[in-house]
Amino acid sequence: MAAPKRQALGRGLSALLKETENVKSAKDANADKLVGAIAEIEISKIVENPFQPRTKFDEEAIRELSISIKELGVIQPITVRKTADSSFQIISGERRFRASKLAGKTAIPAYIRLADDQTMLEMALVENIQREELDAIEIALSYQRLIEECKLTQEAMSDRVGKKRSTISNYLRLLKLQPIVQAGLRDKMISMGHARAIINIEDQEAQLGLYEEAIAKAYSVRQLEEAVRRIKEGSSAKAKSNTNELKPRYTEIRDVLSDHLNSQVNLSRNTRGKGKIVIPFKNDEDFERILSLLTK
């Protein structure tokens, strides 16, 4: 199925800079128009972070990402800091930046930060989440930024935005969808209910196949949930015979850990009570984040 055409994220940088040309810090006039904004920034104006902890990048993975960016654009904007000479330094998203260059892009959507804007950013993101016109992925990205950039836990976010932790967790899980499925949700090809059903399938290729099937057959949410159930039952039938279904107590513990750590925790247990808990992490920063939550 052809990927839906994406509209560019954010406003043009030139228009934004006219209003914020002299903004250097969060204390300056018009800083609130810059902090948390998404702008299409020319790649030539962006410089790599000299303090980037990652020194090696998987070139094949970047090539694959560049193909996705050619088809869909950048689903999740990078984050940059405005410097004194009005160029921009990457804070996060260097893989997306490199892949965009490889894809021949001349501009990339980016969140803009200032050196001392932490409190202002948190306020801007919380206010942003309250806007009615945001799509589900935009809300999920705002929650993710509150976790990663403002160092808020899901409990703290729940207090800030007046949403249940389970609601926040459901939005964050959407970011684990295959990129084309995310784009389809943004473009209203599927609903939030459809997306929440698809996310129960971990394999992203299977997610994409289910997404295409749901559109082709005009599945309702209930029909899609039934298709997911059939897929999962088929997978279970292929599992080893000594694999046991977790008791409710263990699944509850697994789900609580997943929500608390914002990571898909895996828990297994055999008939003798022996098992293991696996907590995946994306990079060194994610590892430190999870470690800090575990040692509180």
Q: Are residues 13 and 41 in contact, defined by beta-carbon separation less than 8 angstroms?
A: yes
Which residues, including other chains, have CB under 8 Å from residue 218's CB and lie 6 or more apart? none
- Catalytic, 94? Answer yes
Give CA–CA dist 138/129, Å, rounded.
8
The residue annotated as part of the active site, out of 40, 42, 71, 94, is 94
Per residue in 40-58, is it b (16+ CB within 10 Å) or e — as a string? bbeeeebeebeeeeeeeee
Helices of type H across the chain: 13-20, 31-34, 59-72, 94-102, 118-129, 136-148, 154-161, 165-173, 179-186, 192-198, 204-216, 221-238, 248-261, 284-294
Neighbours of 2 (CB within 10 A): 5
Query: What is the torsional sign of CA 28, 30, 33, 39?
Result: negative
Burial of 165 (0-12, 13-18, 19+ CB in 10 A): middle
Backbone angles phi, psi at 173, to 5 degrees: -65, -25
Q: Are residues 112 and 25 in contact, defined by beta-carbon separation less than 8 angstroms?
A: no
Active site (catalytic) residues: 94
